[in-house]
C-alpha cells in the first residue's frame, strides 16, 4: 500500500493541513483560522479533528506520520515549545506528546522556518542539492540549514537562526536581546521602520507623500514605490540588500554551500534588493568570489543565491516530509540491525 504523510503549518492566524504522498503530490488540503485567542486546548482539538477528517479522505494509503511546523523555538528533546510569540500559553507544554496521544500516530514538531527550508530542498529551488540554507523574510527573519537532505538541528533543535546574526553591533534593538540583527534590516517590519525613518528625515519626499495618502506603509507598498523610481523607497531596499549581503557573506565563508534560497513575503522585492546584496557579498566573501557564477571564478561548481519557488506552501510541504524522513531512518536502522 502506498504511504502518505500529513503536514501542518500552525501559524498564529492560520492553520493549514495537507496530505502529501512520497513524491510530493498534495492529495488533500484544508485551511482554518487558528483562533489562538481561544486557547491552546481549543486549537489542538480543532487541529486534531481536521487532521482526522483529512486522513479519512485517503483510505487507500497508509499514514506515515504527522509533521507540524510551528513558529518559535522548539526543544527537539522534549517536543515542547520553548518560546512562541504567536502562540501564547503554549510555553513548556508537551505539544508533540499530547497530539501523539490524541491521534495515536507519530508526530514530529519542527520550527516553521526549518520546515520551509526542508520543503524548498525537497520540491523547490534546492531540489537538486543535498545541502542548502534558506532565509525566510517575513514579519521576522527565519532560516533553516539542510545538510545531506536533513535539517541541521544543532544540540537541541535551535540551530539555523540566521535572522539573529549581528549586522550592525550598535543597531536597532531586537526582541532576541541583541542589537542590529539581520531581522532588524531584512524583515517586513524592518522595511516599514526604515521607511518611517526615511520619511522623518525628508518630509518632502515621494515616500512621505505616499505615507500621508490612503495607502498603508507596508513592505509591499514601499517596494511598489521603489519600482516607480522613488529614491527614498529604493534606499530602503538597498539597505535590505546591504544587510542580507553582509549576513550571506558570513554564511558563505562559514558553510560553502552550493545554494542559498531566499523566501518569504519580502523576497517579492527581489529586484529592489538583489544588486546591493550581490555587491556586498562579492566585496566581503572571498569564498563567494572564488565560486561566483560567471567567468572570473573559473570552472567547477558555483555558489547559487536564488529565490524560493514554493511560496507559502514550503513550510506545509516540508512538514509533511518530516515523518517520511524519520521512517527512512528507522528502516535503515532496522536493516543495520538485521545485517
Ligand atoms: Zn535578534
Output the pLDDT for position 337.
Answer: 67
pLDDT higher than threshold 80 for residue 68:
yes
Output the pLDDT for position 164.
Answer: 96
CB atoms within 10 A of CB 31: 12
Quote the ligand 1 centre to 163 CA distance (angstroms): 7
Output the pLDDT for position 214.
Answer: 64
CA-to-CA distance for 268 and 188, rounded, in angstroms? Answer: 11
Contact in structure between 17 and 30 (CB atoms under 8 Å):
yes
pLDDT higher than threshold 90 for residue 268:
yes
pTM, 2 dp? 0.93
Quote the ligand 1 centre to 183 CA distance (angstroms): 6
Percent of the chain with pLDDT over 70: 97
Torsion angles phi and psi, residue 229, rounded to 5: 100, 10
pLDDT higher than threshold 80 for residue 212:
no
Work out the average pLDDT over 1-26: 93
Work out the average pLDDT over 225-242: 95
Q: Residue written as cell 507519530?
A: 106
Hey, which residues does 305 pair with through a beta bridge?
260
CA-to-CA distance for 273 and 331, rounded, in angstroms? Answer: 45
Quote the ligand 1 centre to 178 CA distance (angstroms): 5
Quote the ligand 1 centre to 338 CA distance (angstroms): 47
Quote the ligand 1 centre to 164 CA distance (angstroms): 4
**250 — pLDDT class (breaks 50, 70, 90):** very high
Quote the ligand 1 centre to 279 CA distance (angstroms): 24
pLDDT higher than threshold 70 for residue 168:
yes
CA-to-CA distance for 291 and 333, rounded, in angstroms? Answer: 37
Work out the average pLDDT over 197-214: 81
**278 — pLDDT class (breaks 50, 70, 90):** very high
Quote the ligand 1 centre to 184 CA distance (angstroms): 7
Angle in degrees, CA 321, 327, 329, rounded to 5: 105
Output the pLDDT for position 339.
Answer: 60
Torsion angles phi and psi, residue 303, rounded to 5: -80, 125
**109 — pLDDT class (breaks 50, 70, 90):** very high
Amino acid at each position: 500500500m502506498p504511504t502518505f504523510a500529513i503536514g501542518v503549518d500552525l501559524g498564529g492566524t492560520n492553520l493549514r493541513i495537507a496530505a502529501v504522498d512520497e513524491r510530493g503530490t498534495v492529495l488533500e488540503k484544508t485551511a482554518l483560522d487558528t483562533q489562538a485567542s481561544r486557547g491552546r486546548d481549543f486549537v489542538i482539538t480543532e487541529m486534531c479533528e481536521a487532521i482526522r477528517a483529512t486522513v479519512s479522505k485517503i483510505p487507500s494509503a497508509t499514514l506515515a506520520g504527522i509533521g507540524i511546523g510551528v513558529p518559535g523555538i522548539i526543544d527537539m528533546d522534549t517536543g515542547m515549545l520553548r518560546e512562541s510569540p504567536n502562540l501564547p500559553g503554549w510555553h513548556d507544554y508537551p505539544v508533540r506528546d499530547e497530539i501523539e496521544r490524541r491521534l495515536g500516530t507519530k508526530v514530529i514538531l519542527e520550527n516553521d522556518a526549518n520546515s520551509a527550508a526542508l520543503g524548498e530542498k525537497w520540491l523547490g529551488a534546492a531540489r537538486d542539492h543535498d545541502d542548502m540554507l534558506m532565509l525566510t523574510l517575513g514579519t521576522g527573519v527565519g532560516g533553516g540549514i539542510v545538510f545531506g537532505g536533513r535539517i541541521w538541528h544543532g544540540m537541541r533543535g535551535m540551530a539555523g537562526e540566521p535572522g539573529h546574526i549581528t549586522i550592525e553591533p550598535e543597531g536597532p534593538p531586537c526582541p532576541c536581546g541583541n542589537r542590529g540583527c539581520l531581522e532588524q534590516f531584512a524583515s517586513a517590519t524592518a522595511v516599514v521602520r526604515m521607511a518611517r525613518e526615511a520619511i522623518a528625515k525628508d518630509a518632502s519626499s515621494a515616500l512621505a507623500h505616499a505615507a500621508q495618502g490612503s495607502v498603508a506603509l507596508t513592505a509591499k507598498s514601499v517596494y511598489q514605490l521603489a519600482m516607480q523610481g522613488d529614491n527614498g523607497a529604493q534606499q530602503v531596499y538597498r539597505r535590505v540588500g546591504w544587510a542580507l549581503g553582509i549576513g550571506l557573506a558570513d554564511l558563505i565563508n562559514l558553510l560553502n554551500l552550493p545554494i542559498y534560497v531566499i523566501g518569504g513575503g519580502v523576497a517579492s522585492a527581489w529586484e529592489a534588493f538583489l544588486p546591493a546584496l550581490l555587491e556586498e557579498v562579492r566585496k566581503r566573501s572571498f569564498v563567494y568570489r572564488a565560486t561566483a557564477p560567471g567567468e572570473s571564478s573559473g570552472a567547477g561548481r558555483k555558489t547559487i543565491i536564488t529565490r524560493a519557488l514554493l511560496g507559502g506552501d514550503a513550510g506545509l510541504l516540508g512538514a509533511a516530509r518530516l515523518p517520511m524522513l524519520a521512517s527512512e531512518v528507522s528502516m535503515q536502522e532496522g536493516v543495520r540491525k538485521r545485517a
